[in-house]
Amino acid sequence: MNDGTTTERPEHSQGGTYTVEGQEFVRDANYISTRITRDGEDGYAVEADRYRLIAARACPWANRSIIVRRLLGLEDAISLGMPGPTHDERSWTFDLDPGGKDPELGIERLQEAFFARDPEYPRGITVPAIVDTRDGAVVTNDFAQITLDLSTEWAAHHREGAPRLLPEDPAERDEMDSVMRRVYTEVNNGVYRCGFAGSQEAYDEAYERLFTALDWLEERLTTRRFLLGDAITEADVRLFTTLVRFDAVYHGHFKCNRNKLTEMPALWAYARDLFQLPGFGDTVDFAQIKEHYYVVHTDINPTRIVPAGPDLRGWLDPHGRESLGDDPWGGGTPPGPVRDGEQVAAGHSPLSPA
């Protein structure tokens, strides 16, 4: 049903603002599309120690950028600022940092960096965002392009042995792009269409589309270790950040409850496989994830009660997927230990026991 009405909703800081049009969730995909490139064509040239990635661990779109930065070894080239898991109608805040300010930018709210770029900035204050530390202004918040550019434009700053997340072969790249489009529309965004549906009809349609896609992924991953084959790619990063939140948040909070991730054998083993690889699970903070969704989405959860579960220990169970491919790094090497100051807090993950 589409009655022609448009209703603004408050969840505006994960990957873009959105509206409910005719009771159906619609994400606003208009971002600051400026790019940081080797030739500086958009006015921002690749330069080590100039830019700061602002990425909340709670947000799946931001989590992508944290993972890619770590896999490629860009920690020395691009610093990382991490807002806390909750925000108000204005902005993400740096409430986890001493004095409530980002230690490098000196701001309390990410909003300040957007207004430094455009004092009349009209859209949502979203993460991830890359900020130019020279003037404190946001360069871009185009989350999909950010990770692609980290792989290509920042190649001179990659660590030795960094995996190739974007296939060189044109046919393989076309296949990856096709897979990523379906993962985005049906899964990454699909869980939000379920959670923020404004009518039974809109929810039923979103639910059907989501689980049709998950069944397709279950079948695809039964015979291959990763989405494109034997090695990880950008496509795996994009799917992982939704799967890792599925049972903790989307199954209950967003009513994506035909079954849990743990009840889909191939997808659950695949998700554990990625989680246990350096660069994936060591970026995931389950406590922040749950706090964000259950506290910020007051229209869905007005009591703001954060569930105690689920039990996270299963994420470390053996996955047995080595038989489908024995080199997840595609001839490269895993990243080293997590940098000091970037570790997930103790007790917030099975990888960071209390």
Active site residues: 59, 192
First and final CA of the chain: distance in angstroms? 49
Q: Which residues pair with 24 in a beta bridge?
A: 21
Which of 296, 295, 313 minimizes the C-alpha distance to 304?
A: 295
**Cα 228 → chain centroid:** 19
Residue found under tokens 């923020």: 196
Task: Cite the beta strand spans of the chain per DSSP E.
Answer: 6-8, 18-21, 24-27, 51-54, 79-81, 129-132, 137-140
Residue 189 · residue 81 · CB < 8 Å: no
The CB-side HSE value for 56 (13 A sphere, CA atoms) comes to 30
Secondary structure letter of residue 214 according to DSSP = H
Query: What is the arrangement of strands in the sheet containing 6-8, beginning at the earlier edge strand?
Result: 6-8, 18-21, 24-27
